[in-house]
């Protein structure tokens, strides 16, 4: 996965060794496809690994059915993408450009080979990751969104896709590209839409429907059982998923919005060991997600756990927001925290239409040419201000206190104070929101002087306060007075991550007394698995 920082066009064409090809041939079947045959279409299950022995395979534009990329796959190369690891679906149309002979290996057999031959696994994952990165960089996908800025439902799909590293194209309503796409799909050109492939127009689009199309939220069996249910897909939850899979535990990571959690919204983390020039939170956790999938850990997304109970046989049963249930011998609570909703008049009216709780690439696009306002004095707010100041004319940071010293790392606060494109309003708060269908401005008030200031803006970011996500625990574990999960000696447990209820563990920001840093969360998620292993193998 180190290759994510390298040139994706070079890395995505790394060949396999001769011994690897011999292993593929022994596990797979040789097939020949005549020229013009579609070998994969968007939405097909990613259920086989295809290695090219002779011929040529081209990527096809699903709307025009013409060659999409100048380059193609030839002998010694292979088809596939990251979705193969999780059993998702194909996102690009592939066609035999000439008579083509391939070796096809069923997914399960290929995953076994990858587990047995680390060098093979390294090359395959490197290539798949590079292909995904190229798609993201070039916004190249069969998933096309028309009218993202005009339609709230399309915008929610865009935010879901962006935060989960799902490539998609965004077409401006009324543009030539949007008109051509609408014509190809036989839909009205003036209406926002979500298109997947050539014939699939998603009616009433939602993140859940997109996840289903892409095979992200494959249907789980009702009451399906796992060794460990990991609730929360932030750094702690994903780290637990990596180590659970590596130790041979059958694990399911459940996340309601985006893998990465709050850390996934950080545009640049500079104090995480091993990345001296920094890394975005999304990239860091995505690497972990791929790593966890490599070890067999499964992900359920977007799924929110609404209730947890313990059954008579000792198994834990988690109920999702869609009524589905899964069971686990153990549960790891890694739900982190969420930014508080401030008591500002008209707040709910503008959420998703100018008020945001994350500052990623997609929100930065909404800030272009305007002023951005960020409420908060912590590291997340500081990182957001640095990132948004690149696209906004000015980034205003609104802080209730007299300084940033107590809540923000010194290296970050010094940068903010020195940056001419960032203005910091101390002792201040947002008291009013203005606009019609979309946010158009805010009013700040200085608590000391009483003076007010109006700032025209289309984007207000709220990054203040930390409310733990623990309502779903249904009273099974002890909480502190703020709702964080109590663990360790405080509740009579020998492990620092064990809760008051045997078989339930807590890691990361949701744990009372934890250090609210990405590195700490990753460490806790990694270490807790040894105790989960002990519990599972002792029979509870």
Give the DSSP letter string of 66-134: SB-SS--B-TT-B---THHHHT-B--SEEEESS-EEEEEEEHHHHHHHHHH-HHHHHHHHHHHHHHHHH
Taking the domains of the chain in order of start, what are their residue ranges?
A: 18-137, 143-214, 225-338+467-538, 347-464
pLDDT higher at 189 or 317: 317
Equal CATH topology for 225-338+467-538 and 347-464: yes
Our CA dihedral for 205, 220, 467, 437, rounded to 10 degrees, sits at 0
Average pLDDT value over all residues in the chain? 91
Mean predicted confidence (pLDDT) in 508-534: 94
Beta-carbon contacts of 203 under 8 Å, excluding residues fewer than 6 positions away, are none
Lowest mean pLDDT among 162-166, 270-274, 373-377, 492-496: 270-274
- Alpha-carbon distance of 53 to 137, in angstroms, equals 29
Using CA atoms, how far residue 2 sits from 11, 113, 137, in Å, is 11, 21, 17
- Tokens 């690994």, residue located: 49
Residue range 345-389, pLDDT digits in tens: 999 999 888 999 888 888 888 888 889 999 999 988 999 999 999
- Predicted pLDDT of residue 9: 57
Mean predicted confidence (pLDDT) in 497-521: 94
In angstroms, how far is the first alpha carbon of the chain from the final one?
36
User: What's the CATH architecture for 347-464?
Assistant: 3-Layer(bba) Sandwich (3.50)
Beta-carbon contacts of 243 under 8 Å, excluding residues fewer than 6 positions away, are 525, 526, 529
Mean predicted confidence (pLDDT) in 189-193: 89
- Dihedrals phi, psi of 24, to nearest 5 degrees: -65, -45
- pTM of the complete model: 0.88
- Residue 46 pLDDT exceeds 90: yes
Six-digit token string for 184: 């190809």
Mean predicted confidence (pLDDT) in 293-311: 94
The CATH number of the domain covering residues in 225-338+467-538: 3.50.50.60
Percent of the chain with pLDDT over 70: 97
- Predicted pLDDT of residue 315: 97
Residue range 410-425, pLDDT digits in tens: 999 999 999 999 999 9
Contact 42, 197 (CB under 8 A): yes
Percent of the chain with pLDDT over 90: 72
Lowest mean pLDDT among 160-169, 269-278, 408-417, 521-530: 269-278
pLDDT band for position 185 (cuts 50, 70, 90): confident
- CATH class given for the domain over 143-214: alpha beta
Quote the CATH superfamily of domain 18-137: Jelly Rolls (2.60.120.10)
- Residue 120 pLDDT exceeds 80: yes
């Amino acid at each position: 996965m180190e290759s994510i920082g390298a040139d994706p066009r070079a890395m995505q064409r790394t060949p396999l060794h001769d011994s690897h090809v011999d292993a593929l041939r022994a596990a797979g079947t040789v097939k020949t496809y005549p020229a013009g045959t579609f070998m994969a279409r968007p939405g097909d299950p990613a259920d086989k690994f295809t290695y090219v022995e002779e011929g040529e395979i081209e990527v096809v534009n699903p709307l025009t059915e013409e060659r999409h990329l100048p380059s193609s796959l030839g002998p010694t190369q292979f088809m596939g993408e990251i979705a193969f690891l999780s059993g998702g679906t194909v996102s690009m149309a592939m066609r035999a450009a000439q008579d083509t002979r391939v070796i096809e290996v069923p997914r399960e057999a290929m995953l076994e080979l990858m587990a047995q031959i680390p060098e093979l696994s390294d090359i395959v994952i490197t290539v798949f990751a590079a292909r995904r990165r190229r798609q993201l960089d070039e916004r190249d996908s069969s998933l096309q969104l028309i009218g993202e800025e005009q339609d709230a439902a399309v915008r929610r799909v865009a935010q879901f896709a962006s935060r989960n590293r799902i490539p998609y194209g965004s077409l401006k309503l009324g543009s030539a590209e949007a008109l051509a796409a609408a014509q190809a799909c036989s839909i009205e050109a003036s209406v926002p839409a979500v298109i997947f492939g050539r014939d699939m127009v998603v009616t009433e689009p939602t993140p859940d429907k997109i996840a289903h199309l892409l095979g992200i939220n494959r249907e789980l069996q009702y009451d399906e059982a796992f060794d460990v249910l990991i609730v929360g897909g932030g750094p702690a939850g994903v780290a637990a998923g990596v180590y659970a899979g590596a130790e041979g535990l059958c694990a399911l990571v459940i996340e309601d919005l985006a893998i990465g959690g709050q850390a996934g919204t950080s545009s640049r983390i500079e104090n995480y060991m091993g990345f001296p020039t920094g890394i975005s939170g999304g990239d860091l956790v995505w690497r972990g997600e791929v790593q966890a999938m490599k070890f067999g850990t499964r992900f359920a997304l977007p799924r929110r756990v609404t209730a947890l109970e313990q059954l008579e046989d000792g198994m834990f049963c988690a109920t999702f927001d869609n009524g589905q249930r899964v069971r686990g011998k153990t549960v790891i609570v890694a739900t982190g925290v969420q930014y508080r909703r401030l008591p500002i008049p008209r707040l709910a009216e503008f959420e998703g239409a100018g008020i945001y709780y994350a500052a990623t690439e997609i929100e930065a696009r909404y800030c272009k040419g305007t002023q951005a306002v960020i409420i908060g004095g912590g590291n997340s707010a500081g990182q957001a201000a640095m990132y948004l100041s690149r696209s906004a004319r000015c980034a205003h940071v609104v802080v209730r206190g007299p300084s940033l010293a107590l809540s923000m790392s010194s290296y970050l606060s010094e940068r903010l104070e020195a940056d001419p494109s960032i203005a910091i309003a101390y002792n201040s708060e947002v008291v009013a929101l203005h606009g019609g269908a979309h946010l158009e401005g805010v009013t700040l008030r200085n608590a000391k002087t009483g003076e007010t200031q109006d700032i025209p803006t289309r984007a207000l970011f709220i990054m203040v306060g930390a409310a733990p996500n623990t309502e779903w625990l249904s009273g099974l574990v002890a909480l502190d007075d703020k709702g964080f999960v109590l663990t360790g000696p405080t509740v009579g447990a020998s492990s620092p991550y064990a809760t008051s209820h045997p078989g339930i563990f807590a890691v990361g920001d949701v744990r009372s007394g934890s250090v609210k840093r990405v590195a700490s969360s990753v460490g806790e998620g990694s270490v807790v698995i040894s105790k989960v292993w002990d519990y599972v193998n002792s029979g509870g």
